[in-house]
Amino acid sequence: MDSAIVTKIFLFALLISSTRALDPCACQADGSDLSIVPIYSKCSPFNPPKQDSLLNTVLNMASKDPQRLKYLSSLAAQMTTSVPIAPGKQVLNIGNYVVRVKLGSLKLGPAGQPKNIRTTPLLRNPHRPSLYYVNLTGVSVGQIRLPIASELLTFDPNTGAGTIIDSGTVITRFIEPIYTAIRDEFRKQVQGPFSSIGAFDTCFAATNEAVAPAITLHLTGLNLVLPMENSLIHSSAGSLACLAMAAAPNNVNSVLNVIANLQQQNLRILFDAPNSRLGIARELCN
């Protein structure tokens, strides 16, 4: 084959691979793809949203959280083993993510999981097997382990009390006494003044972010130290930062803590239901 033709083919292939490398929405080189895409992101197959601040976008997404929490709480308390075969979009008109699937000749290895993944037991609620319960044993703000009464954290399948991990809820919600303890200690370590925006009641000047403490969720077998982007949400101008958690809504008579999708970003989450375990590892995503 003529060397000039070979060179052109090589450059064309290089251009395609470079385009894929630069495009976070591109499929794998072999055509395989399994992507979970936020509906408000630029990779979403829906019409792109109007330009807006990330803070306003998250607040818009989180506006349906109280409705979802009420629904989850009702599930947790019901004494039945029937499971509705319907996604959140159908039941509650909530849809935060879409899944794009394309199968090629490859993404899968026998394990397909990062080596540094750590696991915690999945707790089974026989009355609500569709909920993924984990054993939250405590919460730390910076180096301070909060004095949270054990009965506020204990898993109880009869009442539905405990902690679940849920991708359909936007911001992590704790029952009032737990959230108050987290918020008060966080405020103590960050200089105010503080203001409220929507569901976020601890917003402060982003110039104080350097002293913002990391929040650690202590689970059986692992300590999940939330990266700062999982703990704080920023205004579009970057002048304001808010603690990206909240208390369970007042109209929800809930005993349920929910670890939501904003706190799961850039983490590999493994749901190993047959072996009753949940795996978590740090992983940068699109």
Question: How many CA atoms within 13 Å lie on the side-chain side of 56?
Answer: 8
Average pLDDT of the segment spanning 192-202? 91
Cis ω for the linkage preceding 49 (within 30 of 0): no
Task: Share the mean pLDDT of the chain.
Answer: 76
> By C-alpha distance, which of 205, 203, 286, 211 is closest to 245?
203
> By C-alpha distance, which of 161, 160, 162, 185 is closest to 245?
185
**Residue 235, token pair as written in the block:** 């205004």
Give residues with Cβ within 8 angstroms of 60, minimum separation 6: none
Residue 165 has a pLDDT of 95
Residue 199 has a pLDDT of 86
The answer as to whether 193 is a domain residue is yes
Total domains present in the chain: 1
Instruction: Provide the CATH number for the domain around residue 190.
Output: 2.40.70.10
Which tens digits make up the pLDDT trace of 123-149? 998 888 889 999 999 999 999 999 999
Give me the domain span that covers residue 246. 118-282
Instruction: For the chain, give the percent of residues with pLDDT over 90.
Output: 40
Q: What is the pTM of this model?
A: 0.69
The answer as to whether 81 is a domain residue is no
Count of beta carbons in the 10 Å neighbourhood of residue 200: 23
The answer as to whether 250 is a domain residue is yes
One-character DSSP codes across 45-79: SSPPPPS--HHHHHHHHHTTHHHHHHHHHHHHH--
